[in-house]
Amino acid sequence: MTKKIDFERIFKTMKRYLKNFFKILPNVVVPLLIMVFIQNYFGANHSVIGIILIFVCMLKVNELKSIKTYAQMSFMLIVIAILASIASLNIYTSIVLNLVIPFIIIYLTTAKQKESNYFLYGYEFIMFQSYPISISEIPLRIVAIIVALGIGYIYMKIYNRKAKIDENIVSDFDLVVYNIKHIKKELNFKVPRIRFAVRTAFILWITCVFMDLITDRTIRSYWLPLITYSCLEIDNQKQKSKLLAQIGGATLGIGIFILIFHWIPTHALLVFMAIAFTALFSVDNQYLKKAIGTILGMSFVIPSFGEVGAILLRYVYVMAAIFIIAIFEYLRIVVRKIECQIAQ
């Protein structure tokens, strides 16, 4: 007996999704407009702060209790942007900082109750490296970030004025201060998040330095560390799920991209990005998230590589990221076995 299609359930799901989509849309559109503003007045190399602001609006809005809290988070973002800018100066700064900074970010910004809290700051560190500048341009980048974050704060206070703020949530800055004060107690290799910080630092170090050695520093060269970073998790089961989703999502995303990109004019790229980013935060399914991420990433490099080149490049980087993570997972298992043997 064939199963009847539950149209009522499908309709309710679509209604819920669309409601969520339009609620999220301003949190994407405003940062993208800020990105355009920064690009026009400060230069394209600094406009990436608009993309970072999207993640701030989506991930941090319920934690911003006051202007003090926002200023503290802004200070952290500025410091990380400066470190990323220094890392992108040459291969030597890249070798040093891409090993040290990811570990520090994960250690300082996470706790047992906030295991994924590092994501925004690590993502920013990678993204700003993909837009390298000279050391003399760093002051201009700082001003651009301050302006962007200032406009972003005004928007968030107006749009989210009715949002419920959880007063019990520990701010990221307070968490950093706590972890610094308790470094002797917290910095223990037996703690899962410390192991994860070490593993992530080594993986990002390898991917970032490798891409610096073989390619020019453009957004396409940072696909490998970005894809790798987005698949890493403290929990091993979650990481396996993300890896499977990355393979399936990349395949689905490339298929959708081939079907729709011919119909998108170049001048409508910003509108396309707004829709894609909003859809990314509107869905819960990991496969769909990875598919949308794939479409977004490929849309940036079409002008340089063409459609076929972008497709091949994306798939090569996805498979390379999975291969690197698999090697480190194998090494993790080997280390655990050795530890168990020593303990016996």
pLDDT of residue 176: 93
Question: Are 82 and 139 in a shared domain?
Answer: yes
The neighbour count for residue 167, using CB atoms within 10 Å, is 6
Question: Nearest CA to 208 among 56, 330, 100?
Answer: 100
Question: Are 247 and 154 in a shared domain?
Answer: no
Percent of the chain predicted with pLDDT > 90: 42
Whether 272 maps to a domain, the answer reads: yes
Number of compact structural domains in the chain = 2
Structural domain range at position 40 = 22-187
The neighbour count for residue 263, using CB atoms within 10 Å, is 7
Q: Which residue has the higher pLDDT, 268 or 180?
A: 180
Whether 139 maps to a domain, the answer reads: yes
Whether 204 maps to a domain, the answer reads: no
- Residue 205 pLDDT greater than 90, yes or no: yes
Sorted by sequence, the CB contacts under 8 Å of residue 314 that are 6+ apart come out as 223, 250, 254, 294, 297, 298
Percent of the chain predicted with pLDDT > 70: 90
- Residue 271 pLDDT greater than 60, yes or no: yes
Q: For the chain, list the strands marked E by DSSP.
A: none
pLDDT, tens digit, for every residue of 25-47? Answer: 999 999 999 999 999 999 999 99
pLDDT of residue 145: 97
pLDDT of residue 71: 93
pLDDT of residue 54: 94
Question: Are 32 and 179 in a shared domain?
Answer: yes
pLDDT of residue 333: 82
- Residue 4 pLDDT greater than 70, yes or no: no
**What backbone torsions phi and psi does residue 36 show, to the nearest 5 degrees?**
-65, -40
Q: Where a domain ends, among 158, 187, 216?
A: 187
Question: Are 33 and 167 in a shared domain?
Answer: yes
pLDDT, tens digit, for every residue of 106-117? Answer: 999 998 778 889
Largest CA distance in the chain: 72
Q: How far is CA 148 from CA 75, 153, 321, in A?
A: 13, 9, 32
Question: Are 239 and 136 in a shared domain?
Answer: no
- Computed over every residue of the chain, the mean pLDDT equals 86
**How many angstroms separate the CA atoms of 286 and 155, rounded?**
29
pTM of the model: 0.90
Whether 98 maps to a domain, the answer reads: yes
Whether 278 maps to a domain, the answer reads: yes
pLDDT of residue 266: 67
**How many angstroms separate the CA atoms of 180 and 198, rounded?**
17
pLDDT of residue 188: 81
DSSP string, 278-321: HHHHH---HHHHHHHHHHHHHHHHHHHHHHHHHHHHHHHHHHHH
Whether 343 maps to a domain, the answer reads: yes
pLDDT, tens digit, for every residue of 209-229? Answer: 888 887 665 545 678 899 999
pLDDT of residue 159: 78
pLDDT of residue 96: 95
pLDDT, tens digit, for every residue of 131-169? Answer: 899 999 999 999 999 999 999 999 988 877 766 666 677
Question: Nearest CA to 313 among 331, 299, 325, 326?
Answer: 299
Instruction: Work out the pLDDT band at 3, boundaries 50, 70, 90.
Output: low
pLDDT of residue 344: 66
